[in-house]
Chains A and B, each alone.
Chain A
Amino acid sequence: MANVISDETIEYVGILAKLELSEEEKEQAKKDMGSMLDYIDKLNELDTSRVEPMSHVFPVHNVFREDVVVNGDTREKILANAPKEKDGSFVVPKTVE
């Protein structure tokens, strides 16, 4: 395997991805990511030096529309989905002491 993923890399990616992996999952993730990157490295066979990255297949530009409220008040329904709510707000763990 050409791409060896270090413990540090998996830790770092875990932080970016906001995922907490068990030791076993980390080992598996290192292996999986390494073999995926080996496979993705195939793209290096292509000379793309004169090609612009294409994020969108059609020429797109910023799309604007008037900011007009078209839906009704769905606050109660939205809050009904919250794992925890209080006084019309989402409840999260305390973030400032």
Chain B
Amino acid sequence: MDLMQLTAVELGKKIKNKEVTVKECVEAALAQMDAVEGQIHSFVTIDREGALKKAEEVQAKIDAGELTGPLAGVPVAIKDNMCTEGLLTTCSSKILYNFVPTYTSEAVLNLEKAGAVIIGKTNMDEFAMGSTTETSAFGPTKNPWNTDHVPGGSSGGSCTAVAAEEVPYALGSDTGGSIRQPSSFCGVVGIKPTYGTVSRYGLIAYGSSLDQIGPVAKDVTDCATILEAIASYDPKDSTSVQREEYDFTSALVDDVKGLRIGIPRDYFGEGLDEEVKAAVLGAAKVLEEKGAIVEEFDLSLVEYAIPAYYVIASAEASSNLARFDGVKYGYRTEEYEGLHNMYKKSRSEGFGLEVKRRIMLGSFVLSSGYYDAYYLKALRTKALIKQAFDKAFEKYDVILGPAAPTTAPKLGDSLSDPIKMYLGDIYTISVNLAGLPGLSMPCGIDSKGLPIGVQMIGDCFKEKNIIRAAYAFEQTRTYQRPAMAEKGAE
């Protein structure tokens, strides 16, 4: 039996029923990693010993009846920007090449309480700045559907690890589409929850007002189950929101009768690949046939989201990344003259090109004389974008569109032109600006054999609407795995 082919919830059931042991699951994950890592490089760190030791501890708790949840004993991969006590956490950056956190991020802690076994830390764009996982200081991750192509980013490693069946599920983080876009490129399901739903405590910050942690898995049931496990109100995160409810799995019903779905015309214009368009509209058609009310509408302001995002995210990044100075942790340059020179040299040598580009831009837009013209202007634009979504959600429960304009580009094609790469985030970025929940799931395969993703966006705190629509759509499809997942398992 190929254990890693199962979903997290299916595997959890088998563990609960004593059909398999936690150790067998961890060993199956490690075996698949051995088979495919050389080709795709999902991981920065693989914690073999730690995972095997943890497997025994978790097994004992399951046997004692202390751990009874759906994810107990199931192996998981964590994006390398979430702190894990005693386990290397690099953000895929040279500046944190040797950083071992002294505490565990709240979201990961919540998973551990649910009995998860962490098997490793996944590769990402450096500090989550990128859309291809090519800006990692430790080399790119490749798409398991075709290793000439990127997996998307920045949570590329989390998505490839799930697609190539190295783990049943993973955690990613999403600042401008970093869960949804790679999920789309890798043919898996990913959710960015409403801002404030999952604690950011222990998540190494990029754009604090935009960052959210979320699940990546093979199906909607897994994602809802994982979200239920990681979401919590956390006084240690001052932007954590006390929600009225933390139940997401009750929305896993195959019923969309009367659900109002809006299709933004502005998401289907110039730049959208014809095959992606056809597959996404096909998904809308399926939901309509199942009883949803599907309508086209004009969302407006779509083209302003990316410039506003890059001002806000870069500004926050320049501030957040000020802490990397070669004093308390991470990389310090070899030779220096005095304190300021040490700071400058450590940072200049420790950060990669894209990170420096954004720190520079962020420092500029926050500098006196430019603050009003750029930073405040972007925050005003953000308010307008939020208003546009508020208006749309008066009429619709779900906004449905593509997750990305194309399927996965080839390695090396995006980095040469930053603005072109930024444009790839056009459908995901405004969701972060408005704090909304968004989900990406597979809806087809293009003529190049690469997965196409459909994105469903909900109003704040209305994850259930998108989970319901996604679950109903999923019932009409069978999960497609890349050939590599199968080959690796042989």
Binding site for B on A (CB under 8 A): 9-10, 12-14, 16-21, 25, 29, 32-33, 35-37, 39-46, 48, 51-58, 60, 63, 65, 71, 74, 77-78, 80-84, 90, 92-95
A18 and B384 contacting across the interface, CB-CB below 8 Å: no
We find that the number of chain B residues with CB closer than 8 angstroms to chain A is: 71
Q: Kindly report which residue of chain B lies nearest to residue A53, judged by CB atoms.
A: B379
A53 and B383 contacting across the interface, CB-CB below 8 Å: yes
1/0 per residue, CB under 8 A from A, across B316-345: the answer is 001000100111111110001111111111
Assess whether B257 is interfacial by the CB under 8 Å rule. no
Closest 3 CB pairs of A and B: A53-B379, A57-B435, A83-B332
A80 and B100 contacting across the interface, CB-CB below 8 Å: yes
A22 to B416, CA, bound (A): 20
Q: Evaluate whether A82 and B357 lie within 8 angstroms (CB atoms) in the complex, with A32-B418, A42-B303, A93-B338 already known.
A: no
Assess whether B359 is interfacial by the CB under 8 Å rule. yes
A19 to B303, CA, bound (A): 32
A58 and B435 contacting across the interface, CB-CB below 8 Å: yes
B303 and A39 contacting across the interface, CB-CB below 8 Å: no
B304 and A13 contacting across the interface, CB-CB below 8 Å: no
Chain B residue numbers with a CB within 8 Å of A14 are 360
Chain A residue numbers with a CB within 8 Å of B303 are 42
**What's the nearest-Cβ distance from chain B to residue A69, in Å?**
13
Residue in A58, A74, A93 whose beta carbon sits within 8 Å of that of B102 in the complex: A74
A46 and B360 contacting across the interface, CB-CB below 8 Å: no
Residue in A36, A37, A90 whose beta carbon sits within 8 Å of that of B418 in the complex: A36
Extra contacts, 19 of them, besides A39-B307, A54-B383, A81-B329 (Cβ < 8 A), are A16-B364, A17-B360, A17-B363, A20-B341, A20-B348, A33-B361, A35-B419, A42-B307, A46-B380, A51-B384, A57-B434, A63-B238, A74-B102, A81-B99, A83-B327, A83-B330, A83-B331, A84-B332, A93-B342
A33 and B304 contacting across the interface, CB-CB below 8 Å: no
Q: Evaluate whether A82 and B329 lie within 8 angstroms (CB atoms) in the complex, with A46-B381, A58-B195 already known.
A: yes
Which of B18-26, B370-378, B440-448 lies at the interface?
A: B370-378
**What's the nearest-Cβ distance from chain B to residue A27, in Å?**
13
Q: Evaluate whether A95 and B339 lie within 8 angstroms (CB atoms) in the complex, with A20-B348, A43-B381 already known.
A: yes
Chain A residue numbers with a CB within 8 Å of B363 are 13, 16-17
**What's the nearest-Cβ distance from chain A to residue B196, in Å?**
7
1/0 per residue, CB under 8 A from A, across B162-180: the answer is 0000000000000000000
A40 and B311 contacting across the interface, CB-CB below 8 Å: yes
Q: Kindly report which residue of chain A lies nearest to residue B336, judged by CB atoms.
A: A93
A29 to B418, CA, bound (A): 12
Q: Kindly report which residue of chain B lies nearest to residue A56, judged by CB atoms.
A: B209
Assess whether B347 is interfacial by the CB under 8 Å rule. yes
A81 and B359 contacting across the interface, CB-CB below 8 Å: no
Chain A residue numbers with a CB within 8 Å of B419 are 35-36, 39
A63 to B418, CA, bound (A): 37
Assess whether B382 is interfacial by the CB under 8 Å rule. yes
A83 to B209, CA, bound (A): 31
Residue in B235, B310, B325, B357 whose beta carbon sits within 8 Å of that of A40 in the complex: B310
A90 and B327 contacting across the interface, CB-CB below 8 Å: yes
19 A–B contact pairs at CB < 8 A? Answer: A9-B364, A19-B360, A29-B360, A33-B364, A35-B419, A40-B374, A42-B304, A42-B307, A46-B381, A48-B380, A51-B380, A51-B383, A52-B383, A53-B383, A57-B435, A58-B241, A60-B239, A78-B102, A92-B342
